[in-house]
Structure 1
Amino acid sequence: MSKIKFYYGNEVPLEMHKVRIVQKLNLPPIEQRVEAMEEAGYNTFLLKNKDVFMDMLTDSGVNAMSDKQQAAMLEADDSYAGSTTFTKLESKIQEIFGKEYFLPAHQGRACENIISKTYVKQGSVVPMNYHFTTTKSHIVVNGGRVEEVFKDEALKITSDDPFKGNMDIAKLRDVIETNGVENIPFVRMEAGTNLIGGQPHSLQNLHEVRKVCDEYGILLVLDASLLADNLHFIKTREETYQNKSIREITREIADLCDIIYFSARKLGCARGGGICTNSKDVYMKMREYVTLYEGFLTYGGMSVREMEAMAVGLEETMDEEMINQGPQFIEYMSNELMKKGVPVVTPAGGLGCHINAMEFVDHIPQSEYPAGALAAAIYIISGARGMERGTMSEQRDENGNETLSHMELVRMALPRRVYTLSQINYVVDRIAWLYENRKLIGGLKFVEEPSVLRFFFGKLTTTSQWQQELVAKFREDFGDSL
């Protein structure tokens, strides 16, 4: 995707692809959307797709595949062991990341399970630039805990810092010294910090983290699931790398890390994942867990057709015109919302447009899940399904007390090569209207609360009848419009 300046208008993103296959969408009336939201327990994860107009819940497993990926899937070798398809994928991993050993897994959290089972024990402490929900859960389940060592700028909603995902090096040293090297199994960097707005880390910062890891003899692990966005930001925001190719930047990142794992549901626009390393010792320690939890070493719980698509998708990720669509669409949506006064995370990051629910619905206390309430309200008035990234995405402490999130965000994800600008403009219009009527939105409370990863399948209800007031105002302003 390129940015094109129109003679009669503003500079806008221009898709560098054409659509050859289409899928019909459905926009139910607002009254049906309220019924669907109530049935889903005000949890957008539990909505049925038939009731969703634009699915902006995630970019995981829902990115559009290319024609070359679809064609490659017809060449798959279904052998249980020694599959030619696996060899093709393994060779692509070796070519792009320069890692000799590759362990396949069915998705990113499976990789987290294997890494945690291998290295985390009771009393382990894992420093990271910011946690991700499933990562933290795997570490805690295995007896460890997470120490976030982000810099102060990371939690500023409005900022001009291009790399809010950087790790604070001084804090990293302090965590290591305080807890002891023997209790630090690895340091984890996330390329594109999911929970604070898809904010990237710089390549310079990764070099600095590597230096600290070398000093203390600690493994450096990279979650590369959102690497594509982070590559774009390094190339466009980090002056040192503006003349480097995406392939060159990728290899430099990979060379700094002992272990790289990823979800291909994000990286490569396929479904699967994997772990790669240059250490035979690391490979041998993890290998048995792949066979135990995932499947044989040459498929790891994945369909071979998806493995063929992944190999092509990873190669396509090396193309700047492919990986820049997400960040540029996100930037466009964020800018349009800001023009209308809607508070969003800046600078625009990867994965999706992140709305600041803490400010949007500042009348709702965090104990009533403002980001969850806003996500529900956005669906009700637009049919667009986003995701809560706030206190609902945390879990209670050992005493049952609520753990309040650093941020209350609603993420409107933008799957790659899926939506058009007119569809994005529709969502912008509805969110802008909602912002003008934001005081109508009320809070939520749990009626069914799992103890772990409650945001996936917990159910809530409203603290008042605010949803009915919202519908009445919508009908007053929009009439019979959907």
Structure 2
Amino acid sequence: MESWPWETIIEPFRIKTVEPLGFTTRPQREKALKDAGFNVFHLPADKVLIDLLTDSGTSAMSAEQWACVMRGDESYAGAKSFYVFEKAVRALTGYKEVIPVHQGRAAERILFSFMGGAGKTVLANAHFDTTRANVEASGAQAIDLPVPEAWDFQNPSPFKGDIDTRALEVAIREHGAKNVPMVILTVTNNALGGQPVSMRNIRDTAEICGQYRVPLMLDCARFAENAYLIKRRERGYASRPVGEIAREMFSYAQGAMMSAKKDALVNMGGFLALNDAAWAKRARQELILGEGFPTYGGLAGRDLEAIARGLEEVLDEEYLQYRIRSVEYFGEGLRDAGVPIVEPPGGHGVYVDAKRFLPHIPAEAYPGQALVCELYLTGGVRAVEIGSLMFGRTEGGRFEPARMELVRLALPRRVYTQSHIDFVIEVFRDIARRKDSLRGLKLVEGFPHLNHFMARLEPAA
């Protein structure tokens, strides 16, 4: 693929179908946010102008994927569409056992239902919200072991998504290998800036896991973005096709969980892919209880067809060049506006360091959520907090804040153009001029698991 020699980013596609945006007035947004309990998850989508809440299930499908929808076989058992899906997942991952699910958290729930449990410890570079919740719901504990530079948000190190391999070996010895049912590498590392994991780190982690006979699993929702960043940033990979890099990533693990709503470019779906037939047998028993028959797993045949096509399209290097460069452009614009971000920009979005941007708001007043609310009030932009609302805990009546206070601006794939991003940068520029006037929030109603989805807040006094 020839590198793009021009300064202007162009989308490597033409727009074929359009959807109107939800323009609102400031008073309308004030009412909507108050009605939502200052939690943007509760906002009606038609009251949002630019929706950067998540890149999960918000992609635009291609004309070919829509053609696949029409080919969907909706037979209850043994549908042709399942075998198309199975072939695509096997070709990508190399794993023999392919289990469809309706989204990534279903794969997590199924896996931890028989691999988790009291006394177990799951180790990871960083568990994201639903992964941690499903580990803990099984009775196990989830421990994050990111590399130290992951916490230095201004450090431009290229692979801040890596797991700390020294800490990993110490943790396995401390807890006992028999009590560590698996190690998870989330690629890219969504909890800490969408940062990629290097191939060297995947390989070294696999070596440690093999030494202690602990299975290695990939949480691979953004595998293609991770593979492309390896191609861009890691020595020895510049000339290799992204698909080949992705297959090498998968080759070091015993299986993978995927929310297909990210890098499969679809609105719903996922899979659990394994090599262990005994694990797969137990997983399918759990699947039937909660998802459906093993050849559909809670998905329509049309969804299975669209996922199979998306797994092929996402490896198009012209698309990936545009995708990663768009995120970099967004990061550059925010940086120029005086907004501190997690450096370098990752694969699927830009993360604002709210703790640094709003130092006058303490962690217990949720600075990230305060910024999320101000983004919506000012410009109708919806983002998500990754901080003390999402990961903070109350133990024995004492509030323990998260180590980070971030705001993630996740870019849906093939949805927004450069002018949409320029508008969001302009909104941030306006907020930056008056950031010292922003107030924190207080929690009115909280929940023990996945608090950020259901919590209700109000402005702090």
Q: TM-score, normalised by structure 2?
A: 0.97
Note if contact 2:97-2:273 (Cα within 8 Å) is conserved in structure 1.
yes
For residue 50 of structure 1, what is the aligned residue in structure 2? 46
State, as a whole percentage, how many aligned pairs show the same letter. Answer: 35
For residue 116 of structure 1, what is the aligned residue in structure 2? 112
Q: 2:76 aligns with which of 76, 80, 91?
A: 80
- Quote how far apart the aligned CAs of 1:25 are: 0.8
For residue 262 of structure 1, what is the aligned residue in structure 2? 258
Note if contact 2:224-2:246 (Cα within 8 Å) is conserved in structure 1.
no
Relative to 1, partners in 2 of residues 1:254 and 1:189: Cα closer, same or farther, differing over 3 Å?
Answer: same
Tell me the alpha carbon deviations over residues 387-446 of structure 1, each in whole angstroms, 9 at most, x when there is no partner: 111100014244243231121111111101110111110110110110110011100011
Say if 2:171 is the partner of 1:175. yes
Q: Secondary structure at the match of 2:9?
A: strand
Tell me the alpha carbon deviations over residues 292-318 of structure 1, each in whole angstroms, 9 at most, x when there is no partner: 111000000112111110000001122
Distance (Å, rounded) in 2 between the aligned partners of 1:460 and 1:438: 20
For residue 234 of structure 1, what is the aligned residue in structure 2? 230
For residue 295 of structure 2, what is the aligned residue in structure 1? 298
Note if contact 1:147-1:175 (Cα within 8 Å) is conserved in structure 2.
no
Say if 2:324 is the partner of 1:323. no
Distance (Å, rounded) in 1 between the aligned partners of 2:419 and 2:176: 54
Distance (Å, rounded) in 2 between the aligned partners of 1:347 and 1:247: 24
1:399-478 alignment runs, 5 A limit: 399-464=396-461
Note if contact 1:268-1:313 (Cα within 8 Å) is conserved in structure 2.
yes
Note if contact 1:130-1:149 (Cα within 8 Å) is conserved in structure 2.
yes
| Residue identity in the other structure for 1:156 | D
For residue 205 of structure 2, what is the aligned residue in structure 1? 209
Distance (Å, rounded) in 2 between the aligned partners of 1:400 and 1:102: 44
- Quote how far apart the aligned CAs of 1:143 are: 1.1
| Residue identity in the other structure for 1:354 | Y
Relative to 1, partners in 2 of residues 1:362 and 1:2: Cα closer, same or farther, differing over 3 Å?
Answer: farther
Distance (Å, rounded) in 2 between the aligned partners of 1:127 and 1:381: 40
1:58-457 alignment runs, 5 A limit: 58-270=54-266, 271-457=268-454
Distance (Å, rounded) in 1 between the aligned partners of 2:248 and 2:286: 29
Distance (Å, rounded) in 2 between the aligned partners of 1:377 and 1:3: 38
Tell me the alpha carbon deviations over residues 278-337 of structure 1, each in whole angstroms, 9 at most, x when there is no partner: 221221221211111110000001121111100000011221122333322111011011
- Quote how far apart the aligned CAs of 1:276 are: 0.6
Q: Secondary structure at the match of 2:457?
A: strand
| Residue identity in the other structure for 1:83 | A
Note if contact 2:72-2:300 (Cα within 8 Å) is conserved in structure 1.
no
Tell me the alpha carbon deviations over residues 259-279 of structure 1, each in whole angstroms, 9 at most, x when there is no partner: 111001112011100111122
Q: Secondary structure at the match of 2:350?
A: strand
- Quote how far apart the aligned CAs of 1:73 are: 0.4
Note if contact 1:12-1:332 (Cα within 8 Å) is conserved in structure 2.
no
Q: Secondary structure at the match of 1:172?
A: helix
* Superposition RMSD in Å: 1.3
Relative to 1, partners in 2 of residues 1:3 and 1:363: Cα closer, same or farther, differing over 3 Å?
Answer: farther
- Quote how far apart the aligned CAs of 1:12 are: 3.2
Distance (Å, rounded) in 1 between the aligned partners of 2:128 and 2:212: 25
Distance (Å, rounded) in 2 between the aligned partners of 1:352 and 1:114: 28
Distance (Å, rounded) in 2 between the aligned partners of 1:436 and 1:27: 24
Note if contact 2:227-2:246 (Cα within 8 Å) is conserved in structure 1.
yes
Q: Secondary structure at the match of 1:127?
A: strand
Distance (Å, rounded) in 2 between the aligned partners of 1:144 and 1:2: 48
| Residue identity in the other structure for 1:409 | L
Distance (Å, rounded) in 1 between the aligned partners of 2:394 and 2:137: 14
